[in-house]
């Protein structure tokens, strides 16, 4: 089965066009040309050449994705150790430490955010309870004032009725005297 260059991970349309300009138009041609042919193409360094050739071989062999990833990881690890040696190990150690530190900081921030959210919920409940309590007190006070006003109104009305009765009696008595 003939594979296209774009079937290889890391090679898109523009890279395939560039490879075509250098006489590499299929995966088979890429494998035949090998490292020497790829080295003539601008943008292909040692690491990219190795990665591309490995991917092309895997594609032509029909390897499973897991095998391909495993082989690529192994090849990449070997090249990294050979190319950078001790410096790579130190950089890796520093990077791992930075990653751990960043993860630790992220966890701390996440815990703080959760804690702040819980605190905000607690405060909101407390404020809602206080508002409800204040509202009930205001309702009770309004009811109390309304009853007091009603009693006072009845008292005033009773007194006014009494006065009106007295006045009516006085007018009646005056009318009888005449």
**pLDDT tens per residue across all 178 residues of the chain:** 577 888 888 889 999 999 999 998 888 888 898 889 988 999 889 999 899 998 888 888 875 555 566 666 677 767 766 666 666 667 778 888 988 998 899 899 889 888 988 998 999 999 999 989 999 999 999 999 989 989 998 998 888 889 888 888 888 888 887 6
> pLDDT at position 57, please?
87
Q: Is residue 39 part of a domain?
A: yes
Q: Is residue 108 part of a domain?
A: no
The domain tally of the chain equals 1
Under 8 Å between Cβ of 54 and 72: yes
> pLDDT at position 66, please?
54
The CA distance from 133 to 60, in Å, is: 77
Q: Is residue 141 part of a domain?
A: no
Q: Is residue 38 part of a domain?
A: yes
pTM of the predicted protein model: 0.35
Distance of CA 105 to the CA centre of its chain: 17
Q: Is residue 123 part of a domain?
A: no
Can you give the CATH number for the domain in which 34 is found? 1.10.150
Question: What residues make up the domain containing 24?
Answer: 5-62
Under 8 Å between Cβ of 4 and 27: yes
The CA distance from 73 to 93, in Å, is: 18
Q: Is residue 98 part of a domain?
A: no
The CA distance from 19 to 5, in Å, is: 9
Q: Is residue 167 part of a domain?
A: no
Q: Is residue 25 part of a domain?
A: yes
């Amino acid at each position: 089965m003939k594979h296209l260059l774009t079937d290889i991970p890391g090679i898109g349309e523009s890279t395939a066009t560039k490879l075509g300009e250098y006489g590499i138009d299929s995966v088979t041609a890429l494998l035949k040309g090998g490292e020497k042919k790829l080295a003539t193409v601008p943008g292909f360094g040692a690491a990219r050449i190795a990665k591309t050739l490995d991917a092309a071989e895997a594609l032509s062999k029909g390897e499973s994705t897991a095998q391909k990833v495993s082989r690529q990881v192994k090849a990449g690890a070997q090249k990294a150790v050979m190319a950078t040696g001790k410096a790579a190990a130190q950089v890796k150690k520093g990077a791992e430490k930075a990653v751990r530190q960043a993860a630790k900081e992220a966890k701390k921030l996440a815990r703080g955010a959760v804690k702040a959210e819980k605190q905000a919920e607690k405060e909101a409940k407390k404020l809602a309870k206080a508002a409800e309590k204040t509202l009930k007190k205001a309702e009770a006070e309004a009811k109390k004032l309304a009853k007091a006003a009603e009693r006072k109104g009845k008292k005033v009305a009773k007194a006014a009725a009494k006065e009106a009765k007295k006045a009516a009696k006085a007018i009646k008595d005056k009318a009888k005297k005449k």
